[in-house]
Structure 1
């Protein structure tokens, strides 16, 4: 079993409510009882290939990175927050607040967001 939580979700070793899955990326819900949930709508989109952060990304990762954005938009639309807006954010490194070292794009919405989220 991988030590990376997001790899465990991608591989089906840890259960998660999948919102989207294809050959490159997975989007999954964060349960409402999780203390690190930042908004009424909060889901990460992650590449299936383990990539610690944006620092390690290169041209071969472009298909998955682009797909992360389009999937976030698709799921946000399906969840009904597209008309009022949502935020996409990715933290890179300790100083940015990255806590899971598998590149991921957070989609936050469902309420008016302030400068800090």
Structure 2
């Protein structure tokens, strides 16, 4: 499994990003092409290409991604006004970087369905 994606490089500290939160297993940074006033990507440091590649041993790591989303929302002032958390799986769903990641978006009224 290759981790030679832009997100793998960010996770390893080989590429700069506007990091808003991190710990030993997770990195959260601002999206360079934001779709909302606040748009943060949350990635595991472990390289997992898609949701389809998650294994049972990754369960706690996936839970940590969502705990990080909650913390990012708090840090960005979105907890009260609301925010969206999205994970795309595969090209047909809009995944363009094949390293599992959550999008945390907010700061404006978000429409449903998203598109």
TM-score, length of structure 1 as denominator length: 0.90
Equivalent residue for 2:101?
104
Q: Which stretches in structure 2 are left out of the alignment for 5+ residues?
A: none
Q: 1:37-72 CA deviation, whole Å, 9 max, x = no partner?
A: 110000011010000010000111111100000111
Equivalent residue for 2:25?
24
Determine helix, strand or coil for the equivalent of 1:76: helix
Structure 1 residue 86, shift from structure 2 partner: 0.2
Instruction: Please give the root-mean-square deviation of Cα atoms over the aligned residues, in Å.
Output: 1.2
1:45 aligns with 2:60: no
Structure 1 residue 90, shift from structure 2 partner: 0.3
Equivalent residue for 1:55?
52
1:64 aligns with 2:61: yes
- List 4+ stretches of structure 1 deviating above 3 A: none
Q: In the aligned structure 1, how far is the partner of 2:45 from the partner of 2:88?
A: 18
Corresponding pairs, count = 112
TM-score, length of structure 2 as denominator length: 0.92
- Pairing 1:89-100 to 2, within 5 Å after superposition: 89-100=86-97
